[in-house]
Structure 1
Amino acid sequence: MTIHDSSLLDGDALGSVVGVSEYLEPGSYEDLEVVFNEELTEDDTLIAMPHRDTNGNQMYDFVEEEGGADGPYVNDEGGAVVADASVTVTDDMDDGMGGGMDETESTDDGMEETESTDGDGPGFGPVAGIAGLSGVATYLYRTFGVDDEREED
C-alpha cells in the first residue's frame, strides 16, 4: 500500500509517494501502518493506492523502476484504485489533562475517522499509523475484492 501526497493529482505519480507499507500477503487488513519518508508538516490530501508485486520480489519497485514494475491495481475503467483523505496536521501540545491531538480525515467514499493521540510532539511523526488511511486501505481491499492469487505491496 502506498500513500501519495496531493502532487499525484497534478500527475506526479512517482514524486508523490510519501509512504509505503511493508509487503502484504493477499487478504484484508485493518490498522495498517505506513512508514512515511519524512514528517508531514502541513495540511494535505493524501491518497492511498494499493500496488501489485508484478516482479515477485516482495519489494515496492514502482518508483525505482519509473513505473515499469509493481503498478497499481486498476478498476474496470482502467484507472488506478485510490481513495483520498484530507489530513490536518496540528501542533497542539498535551495539556497534561489527558488531552492530545485530534486528527479527522474525510474520504471521498464518505468515511470519516477521528484519531486521538496523547503525546508531547507536534503533528505526525516519521512513522504514521494513520487511522483514516488505514480505514481507506481496508475499504479498498474489501470493495475491490483483492484476489488471493495476486501479490501486492
Structure 2
Amino acid sequence: MVETFMQDKLKGRLDNHYESNAAHTGDNISGVGNNAVGQMGGTYQQYNQDIDGKVKDAGIQTNVKTTVLNNMNQTQDGMDQREDYVHNEKKDVDTQQTDRKNDFAGANKDFSEKHHAAELHQGNWNPMNAMKNDYKDYIEKSKDDLNNEKK
C-alpha cells in the first residue's frame, strides 16, 4: 500500500522536481561545506516526518508486510497442526484396521477348525450308535454310583 501511495501521490512530484533540477546538478559544488550537509539532513528528516504524518492522517497502514507475514505464519501453523492431527488419526485408524483384520483372521481360523471337527464328528455319527452309547454310559454310571454307595 505504501508503494501504491508513493506511485500515486509522490512519483509525479518527484519526477517534476528531478526534471527541473537535473540541469543544475553540481552547481556550486565546490562551495558546499559541512553546514550544508547538516541542513540537507534536517530537510530530509523534515520531509520524512511530513510524509509519515500524512500517511498516519490518511489511515494508511505501514506495517502491512509484517501483518501479512504474521497472518501467513499463523495460518501455516494451523495447517501444520491439522495435518499432524489427521496423520495421527490415520495412524490410529490403520492400527485399528490391522487389529480387526487379525481378530477376524483368528476368529475365522477358530471357526474353521471347529466346523471341520463338527463335520468329522457328524460324519461318523449314527443315531443308533449314539443311543446305544448313551444307554451304555448311563448303565456304567449307575453301576459306579451303586458301587460308591456300598463302600
TM-score normalized by structure 2? 0.19
Name the structure with the higher helix share.
Answer: 2
TM-score normalized by structure 1? 0.19
Bigger relative contact order (CA 8 A; separation at least 6): 2
Name the structure with the higher strand share.
Answer: 1
The structure number with the bigger radius of gyration is: 2
